[in-house]
Amino acid sequence: MSPAIVILGQGSLATARTIQQVYPGALIHGLAGRVEGADHAYSEFGATLRQLYQQGTPLIALCAAGIVIRTLAPLLLEKGEEPAVLAVAEDGSAVVPLLGGLGGVNVMAREIAAALGVAAAITTSGELRFGTCLLNPPVGYELGDLELGKRFVSDLLAGESVRIEGAAPWLDQANLPQDQHAHLAIHVGSADREPVANELLIYPKNVCVTCKPGAQLAERVRTVLRDAGIALQSLACLLASDTQMAEASLHDAALELGVPVRFAKVEQDADIVISVAEQPLDLSQVGRPRGRLAVIGLGPGAAELMVPAVKAELARCTDVLGYETYVRMAGPFRDDQVQHCTDNREEMQRARHAFELAAQGRSVVVVSSGDPGVFAMAAAVIEALHESSDPAWHQVDLEILPGVSASLATAAQAGAPLGHDFCVMSLSDNLKPWAIIEKRLDLASQADLALAFYNPISRSRPWQLGRALEIVALHRTPETPVVLGRDIGRPGQTLRITTLGQLTPEQVDMRTMVLIGSSTTCVFPRAGGGDWVYTPRWYGEKPVC
């Protein structure tokens, strides 16, 4: 799981960004009102830290160690059940691992310290004496039994010597008291067996199971491994045909077994085939993952209005595609994330390019402002898939992640002008005839729906908004409330309340959202100045409350 970097002030952001380069999937959580530019805004430090901890998220808090300890004290459980927790000085001058020795906290401390150019403050007895944490083997290996391991390390610290059975290259540089005739033994291997007395079992992740999709796949994999005398802990991945990437049973089995699934050109008759390597598997050399394509909505622009799922997707993707303005809004990005910026009118080319990248096994994000399903890229991406006969495109893991649309963000600033039935329309005739726009405007206005206009005006069509207002005026009074929201959720946003009779095209540009009320829409003064606008939930006679 990617760590969370939690900061309290703007002065910590630069250090947090440096740490984020070490953990590309990490999100920076900044205190609302005190930090600008964080990936996620929070309002209460203690509640946020405790929630992340309870979710098992590794924590990197850029603050005093005492604050973190006092915050998490009520939640501290048995050793081995806790995520890594570190305190880092705001200026990056100190890195202190606090909790999670068995969750790799000391490894993280050294990684962060190396990035910051300082020494990690390691205090763990076993690691200081032996130069390694036996209960937290490196990537590619898994510890057999934690409770036995604790007693094993205690015996070593008490003065016992140890012998090593099997290949354990990371222990070559450790300061272990080795003796070939020692009573204690570290055994590294993939055999499925119970540990003997005074033995620490460590399993190399060197087993790949090639399989076909089907019911109860995880249980069948367990059975085959058990019958072959191979420990489940040595299973590194599942491998399947690249024509079966969308098979749910494969992904369900991988999730249940706690391993990734890789895909390649596989031809086999047996349902399950076991392959055992001499060394732990480098999964980057085993097939490729299923490609992913996420179409995301950034919301109106402010970081705090971006939904968490979108932030997480941006943090883990390999490629970002979109109109250059929106891609810049979605950043900053890591050095390893590739940005593909295009013109705003190249939607279909962008969608096809996204599928080409995802079909190669990459994790791709297509960026829209607002909500991707409202006059944005979601429809273009799905249309491109519908028109494609390339089977690789149809195997891609496609997901649409919503965002706060411009119409809803503007409405929220004004109050609730869309509180009853409403109609959302684009006045652009680039992809539809103007005659259709006029017809829909007339019908929506006749139906007394509140209206939200996207793309209300541009240099190439300055007359269209005026004509649209003429049509609306046939069915609404001049006193009908109108909300004009320009750059809502972005620097320099403006909100203006006017009326249909006072509205002219000169008051609007392409970056303005126009909301026109229905016959029931009301306006009344705000206590602090300005007006509230709302459309009642009821229509006709007001219900008795």
- What integer pLDDT is reported at residue 122 of this predicted model? 85
> In whole angstroms, what is the distance from residue 268 CA to residue 266 CA?
6
**Fold topology of 4-123:** Rossmann fold (3.40.50)
pLDDT in tens, 227-236: 999 999 999 9
| 159 has a pLDDT exceeding 70 | yes
Q: Compute the mean pLDDT over every residue in the chain, rounded to the nearest whole number.
A: 92
Residue 100 — very low, low, confident or very high, per pLDDT cuts 50/70/90? Answer: confident
43-47, 106-110, 336-340, 379-383: which is most confident? 379-383
> In whole angstroms, what is the distance from residue 391 CA to residue 393 CA?
5
- What integer pLDDT is reported at residue 302 of this predicted model? 83
pLDDT in tens, 107-151: 899 999 999 999 988 887 777 788 778 888 888 999 998 888 888
Alpha helix positions (H), 239-366: 248-257, 308-316, 324-330, 347-358
- Across 162-166, 228-232, 329-333, 450-454, least confident range: 329-333
- What integer pLDDT is reported at residue 285 of this predicted model? 93
Torsion 300-302-308-314 (CA) sign: positive
- Which are the contacts of 81, defined by CB distance < 8 A and separation ≥ 6? none
> In whole angstroms, what is the distance from residue 307 CA to residue 297 CA?
9
**Fold topology of 293-404:** Cobalt-precorrin-4 Transmethylase; domain 1 (3.40.1010)
- What integer pLDDT is reported at residue 372 of this predicted model? 96
| 153 has a pLDDT exceeding 90 | no
pLDDT in tens, 396-412: 999 999 999 999 999 99
Do 133 and 153 contact (CB within 8 A), yes or no?
no
- What integer pLDDT is reported at residue 25 of this predicted model? 81
Query: Does residue 415 sit in helix, strand or coil?
Result: strand
- What is the H or E stretch that residue 15 is in? helix 13-22
Beta-ladder partners of 523: 533
pLDDT in tens, 302-357: 888 889 899 889 988 999 999 999 999 898 887 889 999 988 778 999 999 999 99
Angle between helices 464-473 and 434-446 (to 10 degrees): 30
- Which are the contacts of 147, defined by CB distance < 8 A and separation ≥ 6? none
Amino acid identity for residue 425 in this structure:
M
Do 467 and 438 contact (CB within 8 A), yes or no?
yes
- Which are the contacts of 241, defined by CB distance < 8 A and separation ≥ 6? 212, 263, 264, 265, 266, 267
- Which are the contacts of 91, defined by CB distance < 8 A and separation ≥ 6? 11, 15
Of the candidates 122, 132, 114, the residue with the CA atom closest to the CA atom of residue 84 = 122
Q: 490 or 496: whose pLDDT is higher?
A: 496
Do 59 and 3 contact (CB within 8 A), yes or no?
yes
| 224 has a pLDDT exceeding 90 | yes
**Fold topology of 407-534:** 3.30.950
Alpha-carbon distances of 293 from 300, 319, 393, 464, rounded to whole Å: 22, 10, 10, 36
pTM of the predicted model, to two decimals? 0.79
Residue recorded with tokens 């793309």:
455
- Across 70-79, 86-95, 201-210, 500-509, least confident range: 70-79
Of the candidates 306, 312, 355, 309, the residue with the CA atom closest to the CA atom of residue 326 = 306
Residue 469 — very low, low, confident or very high, per pLDDT cuts 50/70/90? Answer: very high
> In whole angstroms, what is the distance from residue 488 CA to residue 452 CA?
14
Buried b (16+ CB within 10 A) or exposed e, 123-153: eeebbeebebbbbbbeebbbbbeeebbeebb
Q: So where are the chain's domains? A: 4-123, 141-204, 207-285, 293-404, 407-534
- What integer pLDDT is reported at residue 524 of this predicted model? 96
Strands 415-416 and 235-241: unpaired
- Across 269-278, 374-383, 440-449, least confident range: 269-278
Do 272 and 222 contact (CB within 8 A), yes or no?
no
| 491 has a pLDDT exceeding 90 | no
Residue 2 — very low, low, confident or very high, per pLDDT cuts 50/70/90? Answer: confident
- What integer pLDDT is reported at residue 416 of this predicted model? 98
